[in-house]
Chains A and B, each alone.
Chain A
Amino acid sequence: MSLVADAAQFLTDPASWSGPSGIPQRLLEHVGYSALTMVIALAVAVPLGLWVGHTRRGGGVVVGLAGALRALPTLGLLTLFTLLMGLGLLPPILALVLLAVPPILSGTYSGIAAVSPALVDAARSMGMTERQVLTRVEIPVALPVILGGIRNAALQVLATVTIVAYINLGGLGRYLIDGLAVRDYARMLGSVVLVAVLALAADAVLALVQRLVTSPGLATAGDRP
């Protein structure tokens, strides 16, 4: 159990908390990569999911596309893109976006598509334009499911950003890769514990957001599995 003690010492040592390779700096990098990834993935997947869900056209293509993307190993993409494009931020962000798109896309699409046709019919017959049907009825009703998908994507991205350290970038995975190189198991342990804590905290925040923006009239929909 001295390993645990060593890991704890690494995490509590003031030296670990300062400087360009200190925990705050690594945490910032980790969250930064994740946020950048999510912004791009959201910009791609949400409009596509909304459009396909609303028109109910091309649903099969979207489900198939999401499934195919899901089967792609992120580590493989990361290494492939790095070899093809060289070092830098682009290869890992591209690989991570491909990881984040499927859950957002299928959450948005299936959330919108699952809105009862009778409800959409009622909205149209009250005189809502297509845009109003989408923004005032379909999105609010599908919001729990859409946010469920986003929450899932965010967790996967936060967890996977750890491996971008493998291609010499920062983030909390830095300690894992560096520790591995010098057989410093305590530092590896400290690294993965930090990532786990970050994931748990992010999940709690997102769960809170999900609860806050979900209308109480929508009860239990959209919980994660």
Chain B
Amino acid sequence: MTDMAILYRGVSKVYPDGTTAVDHLDLDIPAGSLTVFVGPSGCGKTTSLRMLNRMVEPTSGTVEINGQDVSSIPAAKLRRSMGYVMQQSGLLPHRTVEDNIATVPRLNGVSKRTARADARQLLASVGLDESLATRYPAQLSGGQQQRVGVARALAADPPILLMDEPFSAVDPVVRQDLQRELLDLQKRLHRTIVFVTHDIDEAVLLGNRVAVFARGGRLAQYTTPEELLRAPADDFVADFIGRDRGFRSLGFDSATVALQPVAAIVSGTGERILLGPGMRDGATGDGGTDDGGAAAGRVAPWQSAAATDPDWLLVVDERRHPLGWLPVSATGEPAPSDQLRVGGTLWHDGDSLRTALDAALSSPSGQAVAVNGDGSVAGVVPGGDVMRAIEEQRSARYDRPEHP
């Protein structure tokens, strides 16, 4: 295992009124990992987080950071050594965006000019335009405020980042962006991040490791997200993870399935082509691809195209982006274009089995449409192939010989 950045040793928090917020917590958090504390409200996850920067003092037990008991470090100094992002961005309303980001460096004695210059650079790294630097928090959207909150937490370049439900107050679309950006940021920066959320999907998406807390401050399970979905420790965890955990666990297996060509028709021109691996999609009709011979995208008659479903025709636009599917009659004629069925979800080669399976399940033809990075069709995979791939992965996991 890598070295541990954070150690909880027998940590409890009991409030004067007798409620137990955290109950004998033992937890090791590796350096450079993104660890998520997840659980229902009142489970002690935020309390545990706030013990790290001494916003809460434990009733018993010790919290160590890099081998040092936090209670031996002056609170203000300790807090300046780590970044903190909270649900309500907590930005100072009377200061501009750049001065907000510069807060902790300024507390540490960095000159105003340097701190502001650094702040502007940080803006870009959290996906904000530099022109926002002189705005005030009230002039920003919720998502922008959270981004500034993240930039502020990063400003003093802290090795440890504490995030307390940072994305739960923004709308789902923005939340997805923020989650993706956090993962990108972590890939670049390799901080030790402790992230609190009540959303198990967010936990599974972001965490290298997930700590599930139960009511009463008990740590119910602490493991990787894959393991959590596949083998919940008890009924509480299984219940908390909720439905579809088998399906969701597919998200951790990358789909290694072979793409197949698909018969397609170009919307507008009505031109029929074959798209997929080994097919070069030439500019048809003007003879420009004749040298491509049999590998050219053109097929005539199109029914002869191997490995595609004769009952459906994929409709694409002139850039080969998928538009939907048309049913094909017994005589081989495609239905009129007003019968176009909207296509299913799309996946990229290398995406998870979950995405591939969903693409197959949501496709009218039962075939999962894969697209290239530019959005053009890369080929299809029949649903049956995806199921076979799932079965292979399962058997590989459980039938793996104990001794090679």
Please report which residues of chain A, range 125-147, place their CB below 8 angstroms from some CB of chain B when the two chains form the complex: 125-129, 132, 136-137, 140-141, 143
Contacts of A127 in B (CB 8 A): 75-81, 104, 107
Contacts of A218 in B (CB 8 A): 93-94
Report Cα–Cα, A66/B93, bound state, in Å. Answer: 29
> Hey, what's the 0/1 contact readout for A106-138 against B, CB within 8 Å counting as 1?
000000000010110111111111001000110
Q: From residue B107, how far is it (CB to closest CB) to chain A in Å?
A: 6
Let me know if B137 and A217 touch, CB within 8 A.
yes
A124 (CB) vs chain B CBs: closest residue: B55
> Hey, what's the 0/1 contact readout for B131-173 against A, CB within 8 Å counting as 1?
0000011110000000000001000000000100000000000
Q: A124-B79, A219-B138 are in contact. Are A137 and B92 (CB under 8 A)?
A: yes
Let me know if A125 and B93 touch, CB within 8 A.
no
Q: From residue A141, how far is it (CB to closest CB) to chain B in Å?
A: 6
Let me know if B88 and A118 touch, CB within 8 A.
yes
Please report which residues of chain B, range 102-136, place their CB below 8 angstroms from some CB of chain A when the two chains form the complex: 103-104, 107, 136
Cβ of A14 under 8 Å from chain B = no
Report Cα–Cα, A41/B89, bound state, in Å. Answer: 37
Let me know if B107 and A121 touch, CB within 8 A.
no
Cβ of A60 under 8 Å from chain B = no
Let me know if A215 and B95 touch, CB within 8 A.
yes
Let me know if B93 and A121 touch, CB within 8 A.
no
A139 (CB) vs chain B CBs: closest residue: B94
Let me know if B79 and A217 touch, CB within 8 A.
no
> Hey, what's the 0/1 contact readout for B287-317 against A, CB within 8 Å counting as 1?
0000000000000000000000000000000
Picked from B50, B80, B92, the residue with its CB within 8 Å of the CB of A119 is B92
The number of chain B residues with a CB under 8 A from chain A is 30
Let me know if B84 and A125 touch, CB within 8 A.
yes
Q: A127-B79, A217-B137 are in contact. Are A121 and B90 (CB under 8 A)?
A: yes
Contacts of B340 in A (CB 8 A): none
Let me know if A215 and B136 touch, CB within 8 A.
yes
Cβ of B224 under 8 Å from chain A = no
* Chain B CB within 10 Å, residue with most, of A118, A119, A122: A122
Q: A125-B55, A126-B104, A132-B107 are in contact. Are A217 and B86 (CB under 8 A)?
A: no
Cβ of B221 under 8 Å from chain A = no
Report Cα–Cα, A8/B171, bound state, in Å. Answer: 66
Cβ of B179 under 8 Å from chain A = no
Chain B positions within 8 Å of A, measured between CB atoms, are 50, 53, 55, 75-81, 84, 86, 88-96, 103-104, 107, 136-139, 152, 162
